[in-house]
Structure 1
């Protein structure tokens, strides 16, 4: 019998990728293209939506060439995407009216302050599970409508469409026929009621956003529409925001299962089952996925700058040539590194939520060299993860037995060992660390009948378990210094 494949499209913050997965859950081909980050002003980050689309389509064609297969062998497409990034486009011309405003962008901090002053903080938390922050899509939509000439009028006429990146890609892949998103992405807009599963009129009114712009919201494993590839109709059968996709890809199907993805940011998610659990510790409540007529929820803590801090070492400071080099140089520092780096380049995420914090380096002495800086930057990823995990265990009332890890920096053994040491928890790295892609593939594969959900745990093989080695005294001493450094970066911008 001919082999069947799922095509997973992974549209990330710095690159677009296409990945082909066979019916045994094995990755057979990957194609990836980086694209330009646009920084029009301090704290502003944008992408060109057409470049996102072009790189995604280009990698899609490449991956099929690499695998040397025909379109009829692909039985479904899954999409996973950078979340919160906001595109508004004209539905008649198909052209975006402004660049995509990226999740890292801070320009809407004042709009957030205004919402807080209007007493909407509690409504946002209870309805959307989120906190009022520039990170989410809602205030980005408002900013575009207020700042692009005629945008408000065009929106009222029903000529404009809003979407997170999944919706933008879906609309284009379905030849401009389908304007939809899934529950996981909708729950990141700060406009979606995660209890009633609908757009929230109070927030739409508060931000002057017309509901006609918004996509229809569907389950994550669902036949959204079809993509015609070389004359073959392929169902687009799964969509999930990248972090929820990784949770699914790590087979965190049970309540209390947790994973951490070390990507551009660091994202720690814990499955909390079929009821939303609201945080007392500054974590987010989010929809994990919708599948088989059921909706599952998760607690999430976001670290804004993780892999991006390694990129900063490479591109900003130019002290490493590649991310892989960071492990080599960090190994040359003794056991005690006196330097602490707090990479709060875009403010602090959970559990602090300080938009006005900024990055800092502490503990510099005359003999500090680049190796100290590199090691401290790597360790900052582990410290930030611990911050979130402490809050998460308190909220969920579940102690973590192990942490499943994935994403680019999870390949760094030095970092993973330090993560286990500082957490005092086993860190489990699977053989396939492409869990975001696998989540998107699994959701699509389940929808088209290629897999059953209960079979997927068989696909997951562990590569390495990192066992904690620190004494409790050493762990406490290091973490105390980290917390001291965090306090000093807070509220830096007046």
Structure 2
């Protein structure tokens, strides 16, 4: 038997997964374990980098065991990762010199606020907003606050990168220090058009360019495994993309005008724009879509909601209202749709299109009659409202409005949530047949690089079996409901504004 299977590694904000796929991109086995971040101060979110690395091997072993596929049948590895989360490590030992600063971390908000006058310049060069969300200010913070880090960086002793670079370093035994264009495009350090690290951007943020990895296309060889148990040496890593760009691929969005939303810890809306750089006038960001081999760069418009599934986690763990996240669906049905309770889930600030890092979660409309079920409805609906804001912004930037939306992620398993989202948007939603399309997209990129399939096979492999949710509410209901949300958002921004 030949090497005709793909191993996908999906390192996310709250867990690490490994999935084995066959030549029809059917998942045969997986392993998954929580790798939760920590919250040492208000607005600070960190990961233990060593815990991330050590989480991979056991999940690979579990996926292979469940699949019944021997490692000798793995043709290639695909890797996808939480984006923007940043690590600095020692080039000799591979050990991180401090915590990984997670994409949700807001500790650099003061720097971003102090340099608001450079936002337009940065947006033109990088496609991004000057915000703590992105990696550059995280690298700078670590260099400034870890003793001797800046001297060591300038001396060439340290490496800095996003989680993909850190994992590839370890998967290849320190032989390869690389990243792909999608992850590089999330740093505020890469020129959007040349796809190279820009000296003036590095100077602005105080990041020595020599500590950054080599940038590669998303499909192609990133190195071969070496000294990483239980994976034998010599298996090529052939596909790498940040989680949301991997999900865009996994949803079959490879052509301009196709869009998806992934409801993970946050909610991430991406619309493919082909080889065209489309600047946003409404607070979205222009980013790289997965770039295939020697083909031209591919771009996307993106809007990010910081809290989506994290709102359900808060409802479960913070309020202790349910024992398991899926129980919120039952409570949703028990809640009063006319209760007037509305939740703005800005637990770590507001992302696109508002970009207000100081905003915080706020509940409106409480009364003596309010129940836990009403709060359950408000929690799910608050996420849907945030995504509706993204769709409004996206439609203003695109030449033609979206006609449908492909969805995946943990919250996309909830039928009542997706029905409310469809009603609110007035769009049909197509739920991926595989609810976690992030690993699927990484597997597709790796199989493409390994020659197991072609781009023309994408529709057959990725799109079959999707479930559709169509709107049931009319335009009048949408307009009235949307206005209530806009009033709430403006109140939150005024209350927490600087």
**d(CA) in 1 for partners of 2:240, 2:339:** 42
Partner residue in 2 for 1:489: 492
Partner residue in 1 for 2:181: 183
Partner residue in 2 for 1:213: 211
> Offset at 1:292?
3.1
Equivalent position SS for 1:398: coil
**d(CA) in 1 for partners of 2:356, 2:305:** 12
Indicate conservation of the 8 Å contact 2:281/2:397, yes or no: yes
**d(CA) in 2 for partners of 1:332, 1:461:** 34
Equivalent position SS for 1:120: helix
Partner residue in 2 for 1:336: 338
Is the alpha carbon distance of 1:274 and 1:239 closer, same or farther for their aligned partners in structure 2, counting shifts above 3 Å? same
Considering only aligned residues, what root-mean-square deviation do their CA atoms show, in Å? 1.2
> Offset at 1:115?
2.6
Equivalent position SS for 1:326: helix
Partner residue in 2 for 1:194: 192
- After TM superposition, the structure 1 stretch with the greater mean CA deviation from structure 2, 468-477 or 298-307, is 468-477
> Offset at 1:10?
0.2
> Offset at 1:404?
0.3
- After TM superposition, the structure 1 stretch with the greater mean CA deviation from structure 2, 262-271 or 477-486, is 477-486
Q: State the TM-score, normalized to the length of structure 2.
A: 0.97
Equivalent position SS for 1:79: strand
- Structure 2 residue runs without a partner (length 5+): none
Equivalent position SS for 2:115: helix
> Offset at 1:463?
3.4
Equivalent position SS for 1:51: helix
**d(CA) in 2 for partners of 1:475, 1:337:** 17
1:289-304 aligned within 5 A = 289-293=290-294, 294-304=296-306
Residue by residue over 1:125-175, the C-alpha shift from the partner in whole angstroms, topping out at 9 and shown as x without a partner, is 011100100000000000000101100100010001001000000000000
Is the alpha carbon distance of 1:101 and 1:231 closer, same or farther for their aligned partners in structure 2, counting shifts above 3 Å? closer
Indicate conservation of the 8 Å contact 2:263/2:308, yes or no: yes
> Offset at 1:230?
5.4
Indicate conservation of the 8 Å contact 1:191/1:203, yes or no: yes
4+ long deviations beyond 3 Å = 228-232
1:432-443 aligned within 5 A = 432-443=434-445
Q: Number of matched residues?
A: 492
Indicate conservation of the 8 Å contact 1:124/1:132, yes or no: yes
Partner residue in 2 for 1:467: 470
> Offset at 1:68?
2.5
Partner residue in 2 for 1:317: 319
> Offset at 1:415?
0.5
Partner residue in 1 for 2:265: 264
> Offset at 1:421?
0.4
- After TM superposition, the structure 1 stretch with the greater mean CA deviation from structure 2, 328-337 or 125-134, is 328-337
Q: State the TM-score, normalized to the length of structure 1.
A: 0.98
**d(CA) in 1 for partners of 2:61, 2:415:** 34
**d(CA) in 2 for partners of 1:283, 1:149:** 36
> Offset at 1:76?
0.4
> Offset at 1:2?
5.0
- Structure 1 residue runs without a partner (length 5+): none
Is the alpha carbon distance of 1:462 and 1:6 closer, same or farther for their aligned partners in structure 2, counting shifts above 3 Å? same
- After TM superposition, the structure 1 stretch with the greater mean CA deviation from structure 2, 62-71 or 9-18, is 62-71
1:227-306 aligned within 5 A = 227-228=225-226, 231-293=232-294, 294-306=296-308
Partner residue in 2 for 1:24: 24
- The question of 1:457 aligning with 2:455 is answered no
Partner residue in 2 for 1:135: 133
Partner residue in 2 for 1:352: 354
